[in-house]
Amino acid sequence: VRETLDFHAKLRLPRTMSNAEKDGVVERLINKLSLQKAAHTIVGGGKVRGISGGEKKRLSIACELLGSPELLFLDEPTSGLDSFQAEKVVEGLKLLSKEGKTVVCVIHQPSGAVFNMFDDLILLSEGRMQYCGPTSDVLTYFRNRGFKCPAGINAGEFCLQTVSVNTESKETEQESRKRIAELCTAFHKRDMFQHHHKKHADIKGAAGAPPAARRRPEAGPLVQLRLLFGRAFREVTGNKVA
C-alpha cells in the first residue's frame, strides 16, 4: 500500500518537493484514510490475497488525493463492501468534505449510518429529479406529500422504494409510475427547485470565463519512464504468481 502511494506521489506531487516532503504527504494520507494497518500489506488481486475491499477503495481515493483535486466524483464507492467497510470509506470521505473538498457520490442501497453522513441528497428516478436538498429534510419532504417513512425502516431504503418503479405486476408498475410522475411535478414547482435552477444558471453563465491554464505533468517524460520501468521490474521479479 505504501509503495503504491509512494509511486503515485513521485508522479503527481510537485517536482519542487523533496522526497522527505513527499513521504510526509503519503504518511498523512495513510493516517487520514485509516490505512495504517495495511500500509505494509500487498494490495493483491486475482489469486493473490491482499488488503480488504474497503482498504482498496480507500487506497484508490488516496491515490486521487495526491493530485490535490477540489472535486472528488465517486461512482458507487461502497459497492461490494459490508456495512462496516462501507462506513469506513464514507467516514473518510466525510472527513475530506470537512476539509473543504467537494465530494460527490453515486450510491445504491446505503445503510442508515452511511445515508445520514451525506449533507445533501439528489434522488433520481429514470433520469428525472425527485428531490434535491439537505439529506436531513428528505423525510419531511415526502411526509408532506403523503409518504411517511414507517418506523424502523432505513431512510435511504424508504427513499429508494418511493421513487422506484415496481414491476411486480402491470398494476403496481402503473401505480408507481403515476406516483413518480406526481412527485416529479411537485418537486419542480417548489421554491427549492427554483433556487437550485438559478444556481445552475449562474454556474452555467460563468462558462464564458477564460479556461484555466493546462496543468503540466509534475514528473517529466524521463522521470515517468524511470518510475514505470522500475515498478514493472519489481512486479515481475517480486511477484511469484507472475
Domain count, the chain: 2
Residues 73 and 103 in one domain: yes
pLDDT tens by residue, the chain, 242 residues: 898 999 889 888 888 888 899 999 999 989 888 889 888 888 887 777 888 888 888 899 889 888 888 899 999 888 888 888 889 889 989 988 998 889 999 988 888 899 999 999 999 988 888 899 999 999 999 999 889 999 888 899 999 889 998 888 889 989 999 999 988 888 887 765 555 555 555 555 555 555 555 555 577 788 888 888 888 888 778 754 43
Count of C-beta atoms within a 10 Å radius of residue 131? 24
Whether the model clears a pTM of 0.75, i.e. scores above it, the answer is no
pLDDT at 68: 82
**Residue 127's domain spans which residues?**
119-204
Residues 92 and 12 in one domain: yes
Residues 168 and 195 in one domain: yes
For residue 227, tell me if it sits in a domain. no
pLDDT at 103: 93
Residues 39 and 126 in one domain: no
For residue 232, tell me if it sits in a domain. no
Residues 41 and 130 in one domain: no
Q: Which segments of 101-163 does DSSP mark as H helices, in order?
A: 112-117, 138-143, 155-162
Residues 47 and 99 in one domain: yes
Residues 91 and 138 in one domain: no
Q: Which three three-digit cell numbers place residue 33?
A: 484514510
Residues 103 and 124 in one domain: no
SS3 83: helix
Residues 135 and 200 in one domain: yes
- Which of 54, 81, 108 represents a domain boundary (last residue)? 108
Pairing assessment for the beta strands 102-106 and 120-125 based on DSSP bridges: unpaired
Look at the block and give the residue holding cell 457520490.
105
For residue 46, tell me if it sits in a domain. yes
Residues 174 and 129 in one domain: yes
- 200, 72, 66: which is closest to 132 by C-alpha? 200
Non-local CB neighbours of 110 within 8 Å, separated by 6+ positions: 78, 86, 156
pLDDT at 52: 86
pLDDT at 242: 36
- 201, 204, 199: which is closest to 132 by C-alpha? 199
For residue 220, tell me if it sits in a domain. no
Task: Give the CATH number for residue 66.
Answer: 3.40.50.300
d(C-alpha 174, C-alpha 114), whole Å: 31
